[in-house]
Amino acid sequence: MAIESSGVLAHLKALSPNHIYFLASKAYVLRGYDYYAQGRLESYSWNHSRTILAASVRGSKYYAVTFSVEKGQLVYSCRCPSWTASTQCKHVICALLTTVNLLVPDAFRVATTRKTSQEELSQQLLQGSAASQSVANPAPALPRFEVNLIDRQGQGFIAITNHGNVCQTFLGMPTELAILLRATQDPAWSVQDALRDFLKHHGQAFPIYFENTQGRTLVEWAPSMTYTIKTELDVRGEKVIVAARSFRFGVAQEHAQLFMGMVVDLDAYKLAPLDNDLGWTLYDLLSENYHERDDMPSRRPFNRGLGKLKPPSWQRQERGIGKDTRPILSIPLHEFASLQIDLPTKES
């Protein structure tokens, strides 16, 4: 269904309180109202085209409530397990009440105990920016830390932000985040190991965002979901197509990609463990060998022992921020047929 390019805020502003009250069951409305009064909506973010508004609501975990306009109608959804299009959920009710209150302050005259200032939420809502605006005599904002997993052309980075500002020091930071930040700054630390340890013990404690060239997405740490990676070979005419694929329950996940030894599934909005990190070894060896051969003037034989190759440069970066995106390779069939492949094992 096509998402329209504008009108999200206009549709939200036009909502009446009575309409919101009848969207869900009485229990969900009451719980959503409690969440609204407690200030459980902690941040807003827009996609690049400003057609989708996402609100981060703090429940037992952080859940993303999204608003968009489809065929002239306001559409809302939540990634919590209770949400359905017909019944909604308490997170949607909280997000609607909070947003309408910010857009039309007279709609609800209820004192709230917000952890995030109304000025900051309004700025994010109206401008799509995470930075706070300067106001006269502003009330001090409590910390709002987020963990950002950033992919830049296949290279992975971690940034910890507080109210949208990148943290460079440990001042005022919880110990678990300070340890993760230290790992990103000290070459003697393994960033990948630090991230895994953080997720194991504190994976649900802070919002986690994945950012790439397509935008910024709120994801949930899902340790019970396990993914597998495999190298897929497909003979097409006189070429062999080599692809690095991610699978869950044997089904290829087209919008899943690796990040520091884990999988980010952008369809399910999940960050999950990887069952076996050897699945792309064949791809990496073929890629390294094939490109080395093309680059060398002597064009040495393509059938040299692949098992003796050094791992690709992105695997040799111990800090765990190597290349996680692998393009599809195309190798001439007659050259592929002459290969003698000696794959390393887990024990070796």
Q: What is the mean pLDDT of residues 64-70?
A: 90
Query: Is residue 285 a contact partner of residue 259, using CB atoms and an 8 Å limit?
Result: no
Most distant CA atoms of the chain, gap in Å: 78
Report d(CA 130, CA 158) in Å as an integer.
Answer: 17
> What is the SS3 assignment for 164?
coil
- Beta-carbon contacts of residue 327 (< 8 Å; ≥ 6 apart): none
Reported as a single tens digit per residue, the pLDDT across 231-278 is 888 888 888 888 888 888 888 887 888 888 888 988 888 898 887 777
What is the model's pTM? 0.52
Closest Cα partner for 273 from 235, 294, 246? Answer: 246
pLDDT at residue 159 in the model: 93
Q: Please, which residues bridge with residue 262 across strands?
A: 259, 273
Reported as a single tens digit per residue, the pLDDT across 97-136 is 999 888 887 766 555 555 457 788 888 888 643 333 333 3
User: Would you say residue 43 has pLDDT above 60?
Assistant: yes
In eight-state DSSP terms, residue 263 is: E
